């Protein structure tokens, strides 16, 4: 994928103005600098410092509504279960929950977050390849609407757990359709060799077995082939196979009420258009319409990615070698421990100066890096950026999905602060939704055994 990994060499580097023009929630104000949904990002950085995540509630709402509208327009009656893993902040879950989103969760922690944010158990599905007995027990006790089972082994465990608890688990079998979504290898999930789901050939017999197991009620099928998918062909191929399976199961006298169509719709990380929910709805409709199925989708990235940015400040610009041909490094105060996507997937993220003056100065190529002691701590290579003085600020774009949730404290760097933009926040237009982690919190849970406490210093 051109824009998923590095940009292809023959694609022109997007200019700062192109990056802004491609995003309806961004604009550049001559005095106030970069605005997100009308709020100056400089004001957020002034209040909270950097690095700081910013997530926009109006963008979250607009994207949720666009997705729901596309599904409605296609006459699918499909319900959106937001994939909580993309951004699990309670405030984000509340915004999406208030819009009507259910949740797709993959751990007890995510389930508890969704419940804390007010999402009803009947609106929650539980996915994942390795749910523990404790997690299954908790999910059953909460009475969630569906557990997506990923293996014969898990089905047996769930049957035992449900029977012991005197409950019946509503189960969808997650089928691996053996379709290559053409995305980055680390986030491709629907090929036969990936760890996810039940082999297509085994699904029908396992469904029949599920119907006979105590504590299990099979209600349908689930499929999810990967993430950051921009072509509809793999979706169509996967849904066609699922539709065939539905017919096979029904022909065998089994009841199939629902299909969970998964997530994975991609976004435009540079200046290209992202995935279109109407096209996804069309791909679902092509195979799964008119089968009398209750349909659902599990988008994560598409809903939240473009709603967030990571604000960072320039620590210094470092030049190596002669000024004409040497290297130029823009060293930021944000690093791979904050946003790991470039290091982990060679992902492209747009980088835009917050100052309108900086944004129009002549740009030259620079590597944009963080302070962590690894060469992989690189946000961009050969990126066209104007000269940036120490203290100049930038926004790293499309950081709302798989950003803060994947942060670590590597190099003893505290987790960054976070703000939410929302007109309801009052005149400033934003509210702090996570304090910057304190350094003391980094070691607060660590225990130094008594026998190590004497003898030093
Ligand atoms: N449903 C299931 C079962 C999933 O495993 C995932 C994502 C989703 C839904 C939501 O997918 P989305 O709509 O967000 O593409 N950390 C990687 C992405 C990992 C995706 C994992 N599963 C990244 O930063 O690109």
- Rounded CA separation 248/313 (Å): 58
Question: In the chain, what percentage of residues exceed pLDDT 90?
Answer: 91
Q: What number is the average pLDDT over the span 66-75?
A: 98
Q: What pLDDT does residue 301 have?
A: 98
The span from the CA of 382 to the CA of 396, in Å, is 15
Q: Which long-range contacts (CB under 8 A, 24 or more apart) does 30-38 make?
A: 30/356, 31/356, 32/356, 33/353, 33/354, 33/355, 33/356, 34/352, 34/353, 34/354, 34/356, 34/359, 34/395, 36/309, 36/395, 36/421, 37/421, 37/429, 38/429
| Contact present, 258 and 48 (Cβ < 8 Å) | no
Q: Is 308 left (phi over 0), alpha (psi -120 to 50) or beta?
A: beta
Give the list of residues 6+ apart from residue 449 with CB closer than 8 angstroms, or none: none
CA 349 to chain centre: 14
Question: What are the two backbone dihedrals, phi and then psi, of residue 6, each rounded to the nearest 5 degrees?
Answer: -70, 160
- How would you classify the pairing of strands 146-149 and 169-176? parallel
Ligand 1 mutation target, pool 264, 344, 349, 396, most atoms within 8 A of CB: 264
Residue 419 has pLDDT above 90, yes or no: yes
For 351, residues 6+ apart whose C-beta sits below 8 A from its C-beta are 368, 379, 380, 383, 385, 394, 395, 396, 397
Output the DSSP codes for 77-115. Answer: -PEEEEEGGG---HHHHHHHHHHT-EEEESSHHHHHHHH
pLDDT tens readout for residues 144-179: 999 999 999 999 999 999 999 999 999 999 999 999
Mean confidence (pLDDT) of the chain: 95
Between the CA of 225 and the centroid of ligand 1 the distance, in Å, is 9
pLDDT of residue 6: 41
Q: What is the pLDDT of residues 346-396, one digit of tens each?
A: 999 999 999 999 999 999 999 999 999 999 999 999 999 999 999 999 999
DSSP character for 35?
E
Q: Ligand 1: which atom is nearest the Cα of residue 406? A: 16
E strands of 215-345, at which residues? 216-222, 258-260, 294-297, 308-320, 327-332
- pLDDT higher than 70, residue 409: yes
Going from the Cα of 4 to the center of ligand 1, the distance in angstroms, rounded, reads 14
Nearest CA to ligand 1 atom 8: 263
Backbone angles phi, psi at 243, to 5 degrees: -60, -40
The model's pTM: 0.96
The ligand 1 atom nearest the CA atom of 189: 5
Q: Is 157 exposed, middle or buried (0-12, 13-18, 19+ CB in 10 A)?
A: middle
* In the predicted structure, residue 1 carries a pLDDT above the cut 60: no
A 10 A CB-CB count for 388 gives: 23
CA of 296 to the centre of ligand 1 (A): 15
Report which of 330, 295, 321, 354 is spatially closest to residue 52, judged by C-alpha positions.
354
Q: Which amino acids bring their CB within 6 angstroms of ligand 1?
A: 83, 85-86, 104, 127, 187, 224, 227-228, 262-265, 298-302, 341, 345, 401-402
* pLDDT value for 74: 97
As a dihedral over the C-alpha atoms of residue 363, residue 364, residue 369, residue 371, rounded to 10 degrees, the angle is: -90
Q: Which residue has the tokens 């509504």?
A: 65
Q: Distance from the CA of 210 to the center of ligand 1, in angstroms?
A: 27
- Mutating to test ligand 1, I would choose from 86, 175, 229, 265 the residue with most ligand atoms within 8 A of its C-beta, which is 86
Percent of the chain with pLDDT over 70: 97
| Cα 187 to ligand 1 centre (Å) | 7
Residue 4 has pLDDT above 70, yes or no: no
Position in ligand 1 atom list of the atom nearest CA 174: 3
Residue 10 clears pLDDT 60, i.e. is over it? no
Known catalytic residues are: 373
Q: Which domains does the chain have, with CATH numbers?
A: 4-56+305-442 (2.40.37.10), 57-302 (3.20.20.10)
Instruction: Indicate the top mutation candidate among 130, 181, 301 to test ligand 1's pocket, ranked by most ligand atoms within 8 A of CB.
Output: 301
Gap from CA of 425 to ligand 1 centroid (Å): 30
Residues 6+ apart with CB under 8 A from 168: 162, 215, 216, 217
Kindly report, residue by residue over 200-250, the tens digit of the pLDDT: 999 999 999 999 999 999 999 999 999 999 999 999 999 999 999 999 999
CA distance 380 to 326: 17
Banded model confidence at residue 7, pLDDT cuts 50, 70, 90: very low
């Amino acid at each position: 994928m051109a824009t998923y990994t590095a940009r292809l060499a023959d694609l022109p580097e997007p200019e700062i103005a192109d990056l802004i023009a491609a995003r309806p929630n961004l604009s550049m104000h001559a005095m106030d600098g970069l605005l997100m949904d009308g709020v100056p990002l400089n004001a957020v950085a002034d209040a909270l410092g950097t690095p700081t995540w910013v997530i926009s509630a109006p963008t979250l709402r607009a994207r949720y509504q666009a997705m729901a509208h596309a599904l409605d327009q296609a006459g699918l009656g499909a319900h959106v279960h937001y994939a909580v893993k993309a951004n699990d902040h309670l405030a984000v879950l509340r915004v999406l929950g208030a819009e009507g989103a259910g949740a797709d969760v993959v751990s007890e922690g995510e389930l508890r977050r969704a419940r804390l944010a007010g999402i009803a158990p009947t609106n929650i599905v539980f996915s994942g390849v390795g749910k523990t007995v404790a997690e299954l027990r908790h999910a059953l006790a909460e009475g969630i609407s569906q557990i997506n089972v990923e293996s014969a082994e898990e089905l047996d465990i769930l049957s035992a757990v449900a029977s012991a608890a005197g409950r019946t688990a509503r189960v969808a079998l997650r089928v691996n359709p053996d379709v290559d979504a053409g995305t980055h290898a680390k986030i491709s999930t629907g090929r036969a060799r990936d760890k996810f789901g039940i082999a297509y050939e085994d699904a029908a017999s396992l469904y029949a077995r599920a119907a006979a197991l105590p504590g299990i009620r099979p209600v349908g099928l689930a499929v999810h082939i990967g993430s950051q998918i921009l072509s509809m062909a793999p979706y169509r191929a996967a849904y066609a196979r699922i539709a065939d399976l539905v017919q096979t199961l029904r022909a065998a006298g089994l009841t199939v009420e629902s299909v969970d169509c998964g997530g994975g719709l991609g976004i435009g990380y540079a200046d290209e258009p992202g995935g279109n929910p109407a096209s996804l709805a069309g791909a679902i409709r092509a195979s799964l319409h008119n089968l009398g199925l209750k349909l659902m989708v599990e988008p994560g990235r598409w809903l939240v990615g473009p709603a967030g940015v990571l604000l960072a400040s320039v620590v210094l610009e470092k030049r190596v070698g002669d000024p004409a041909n040497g290297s130029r490094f823009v060293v930021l105060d944000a690093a791979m421990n904050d946003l790991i996507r470039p290091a982990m997937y060679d992902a492209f993220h747009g980088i835009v100066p917050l100052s309108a003056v900086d944004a129009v100065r002549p740009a030259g190529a620079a590597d944009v890096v963080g302070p962590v002691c690894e060469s992989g701590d690189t946000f961009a290579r050969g990126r066209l950026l104007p000269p940036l003085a120490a203290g100049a600020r930038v926004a790293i774009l499309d950081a709302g999905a798989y950003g803060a949730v994947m942060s670590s404290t590597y190099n003893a760097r505290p987790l960054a602060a976070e703000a939410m933009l929302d007109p309801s926040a009052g005149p400033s237009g934003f509210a702090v939704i996570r304090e910057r982690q304190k350094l003391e919190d980094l070691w607060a849970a660590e225990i130094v055994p008594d026998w190590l406490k004497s003898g030093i210093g």
